[in-house]
Structure 1
């Protein structure tokens, strides 16, 4: 089942839905960062959440970053997402692997920890980005983001996220949904959705059975006037370039650049999100230094 994100409404527009299968996308991210199983589940849930929340942005120039850092062995997870359903991310410790939790599932909450915050940063091209922050509630990602929507954005939401890691450490299935009640929504519809979500299996169970994202939504919203509005292909995509990395390098300041240059060093910078390495020879550092002096 190839990756797909859909936007939909139900119950005469009272309910807004964003849902996706993200198996290939998560596979790509987990492979880049060489994640152990628990790390793969943590990063995969965050990448899926980022894809869904990025698709909720209004303008194509907007971007959104989610950070979760709870003091656990994962050492924090960061994802940045865009309105075209592309996303990139990294986990502080890709080797974290914990014993299964009490439900026999990968212990994402234990890896992330609960002594910290969920931070959502929306860059909408204004002078200051919007920053929403809540204490971590469970570390399991889905519950935390549902809590974030309810508290920070005053929008009651259900967030379901799943990542199934195979025995060869590849991703067997990944996907999720965000279901939101619109202001003034019919309370009976909200109760019905809550009841059905409590009754359903994990989203990855349905993906493994071969159900499409549309079929999963039909199952949840049967007889609730589900309308699929549009769809996109989610993808793991890093937008780093040598120019961007050079600008970051320049930002360390003339004094430090001069020191590196005078010591006849070469420098290598690595992108956190895709692990691409950029090498700067001593000669290139000299050029950057000239550029930085002429910019002054």
Structure 2
């Protein structure tokens, strides 16, 4: 069964909310990248927050990408999502060894860092990309998504995400939520939401109840205090087939592909988002090289023809 994200609106129409249980999704991503315990939490939180942001802001065939560069030892945290529930991502250093706080808890803020930027790129068919940027305020990820969303849309919002690990470094639970004020929300309702957030049950506890996203919504908004709007199945974006990587290789200069054949006897390509490896034998590269050489030869011939036409025009 796929992980689920649920969209609701409170019955007083003061807030809309999104909640997700993405335990399976995060475990698949952690396994694909062979992520360490602390990298798993960072990547998992980023994937969940990105998926929530996508569901809250995208429509149709729009897509968005998020890049966090906090100057911490985890490196860049990069994620992408579409409006249909597909998300993917990676961190620069997935095997980073755990760093803990004084209370022996994983130091997520410390490994992400808080001296850099948070960048969102939105892509829509037939439109120029939209680029939004803010500072990283904490490195805890949920706080940074909240800050960006509040700054970019000027709407009171809060995103919370959490990933809990088992002793064997598998994912015990992973989930999150977004609550966003609607135009009719009063100051009193905003104050009440703030109070409810402060006394909210930890996400790990809620998800352990096996009620999925409903457990989060019931605890935060109150059971029977909201109306469901939609439910979306979410999961990791599909890995491009080997043929897609072959097409990418065809864009390289011939001398680079020739070097792969002569020096390495083949080529190994690792999908940055999936961690999956694709190997090209020398014979496969020879076929690709033949197409590149034909393309380069044709381009050279076209350039010669253009030069001759130019000389004729001058005469």
Partner of 2:303: none
2:19, 2:216 within 8 Å by CA — same for their partners in 1? Answer: no
Partner of 1:72: 72
Change in Cα spacing, 1:128 to 1:252, as seen in structure 2 (3 Å) is farther
Cα distance in structure 2, aligned partners of 1:108 and 1:102? 13
- Choose between structure 1 and 2: higher helix proportion: 2
TM-score between both structures, scaled by the size of structure 1: 0.91
TM-score between both structures, scaled by the size of structure 2: 0.86
Structure 2 residue matching 1:289: 3-state secondary structure? helix
Change in Cα spacing, 1:31 to 1:263, as seen in structure 2 (3 Å) is closer
Structure 2 residue matching 1:272: 3-state secondary structure? coil
Structure 1 residue matching 2:28: 3-state secondary structure? helix
Cα distance in structure 2, aligned partners of 1:6 and 1:92? 31
1:142 and 2:149 equivalent? no
Structure 1 residue matching 2:68: 3-state secondary structure? strand
Partner of 2:111: 111
TM-superposed deviation, 1:128: 2.1
TM-superposed deviation, 1:210: 3.4
Partner of 2:306: none
Cα distance in structure 2, aligned partners of 1:20 and 1:233? 10
Structure 1 residue matching 2:56: 3-state secondary structure? coil
What pairs up with 1:1-296 in 2 under 5 angstroms? 3-102=3-102, 104-222=104-222, 225-260=225-260, 265-292=265-292, 293-294=294-295, 296=299
1:10, 1:225 within 8 Å by CA — same for their partners in 2? Answer: yes
* 1:98-146: CA deviation from partner (whole Å, max 9, x where unpaired): 3332555321111111121111111112442111111111010000010
Cα distance in structure 1, aligned partners of 2:145 and 2:103? 21
Count of residue correspondences: 296
* 1:240-284: CA deviation from partner (whole Å, max 9, x where unpaired): 122321232233334433554566841111111222222223332
1:66, 1:118 within 8 Å by CA — same for their partners in 2? Answer: yes
Which sections of structure 2, spanning at least 5 residues, go unmatched? 300-315
Cα distance in structure 1, aligned partners of 2:257 and 2:101? 48
Change in Cα spacing, 1:282 to 1:231, as seen in structure 2 (3 Å) is same
* 1:190-216: CA deviation from partner (whole Å, max 9, x where unpaired): 211111001113212211233431132
1:2, 1:21 within 8 Å by CA — same for their partners in 2? Answer: no
TM-superposed deviation, 1:74: 0.7
Structure 1 vs Structure 2 CA RMSD: 2.3
Cα distance in structure 1, aligned partners of 2:96 and 2:264? 38
